[in-house]
Amino acid sequence: MATETTGVKRLATGEGRTFALMGSTLTFKDEPRDNGGTMLAFEHRCPPGLGVPPHSERNHEAFYLLEGRLEVEVAGEPHELGPDDFLHIPPGVVHSLHNPGPGPMRVLTVVSPGDGHVRFFATLGEPIDDPSSPPEPGEPPEFERVQRIAAECGIEFLPPAQDQR
C-alpha cells in the first residue's frame, strides 16, 4: 500500500499502477500527478527476446538495470547493461531496447518529464493487477496506431524495417 506523508511516497514490492503492453509489464512507481509533473519512474519487466523498437522522444530517459541483461542501441552505438548498470539518454536521440535473455529483465526507468509516457502506456496498455503474471501477448497493435498515439505523447517510433512488415 502506498503511504504518503509530507510528499514522501513508499510502495512495497509489486505495488503501483501496472500495465501490460506488447509482452512487457510497466509498473508506475512515481507518476507526474504525484510529483508536480517532474518525472515518471517505472519498473519495466521484459521477457527474453522482446524489447522496444527504435524511437526518440522529447524527454530525458534513464535506465538502472535491476535484473537480467539489457541491450540498448543509442544512435547506432550498442550498450549492454548488466545488473546495477546505468544509462542516460538525452532528448531527441534514437534508441531501442532488447532483452537478449536468457532470463527476464527488470529495469527501473526514469523519464523526465513523464506525462507523455503515462498517456502512451495508459492508452495502449492493458491495466493488470500482478506485474509478475502478465497476460500472454496477443497480436501486436497496428503500427500506424502506435505511431499516431506515440506522436501525440512526444515519442516518435521509426517505421519497421521493410523485412519486418
DSSP string, 7-60: TEEE--TT-S-EEEETTEEEEEEE-GGGTTTS-EEEEEEE-TT-EEEEEEESSE
Between 47-51, 104-108, 134-138, the lowest mean confidence (pLDDT) is in 134-138
Q: Render pLDDT for 87-129 as a digit per residue (tens, 0 to 9).
A: 999 999 999 999 999 999 999 999 999 999 999 999 999 999 9
* Residue 3 clears pLDDT 80, i.e. is over it: no
Q: How confident is the model at residue 5 (pLDDT cuts 50, 70, 90)?
A: low
Expressed in angstroms, the distance from the first to the final Cα of the chain is: 43
* Residue 29 clears pLDDT 60, i.e. is over it: yes
- At 65 the pLDDT is 98
- At 50 the pLDDT is 94
Determine the average pLDDT of the residues in 43-54. 96
* Residue 1 clears pLDDT 70, i.e. is over it: no
Name the CATH topology of 15-158: Jelly Rolls (2.60.120)
- At 141 the pLDDT is 83
Strands 3-5 and 8-10, by their bridges, are antiparallel
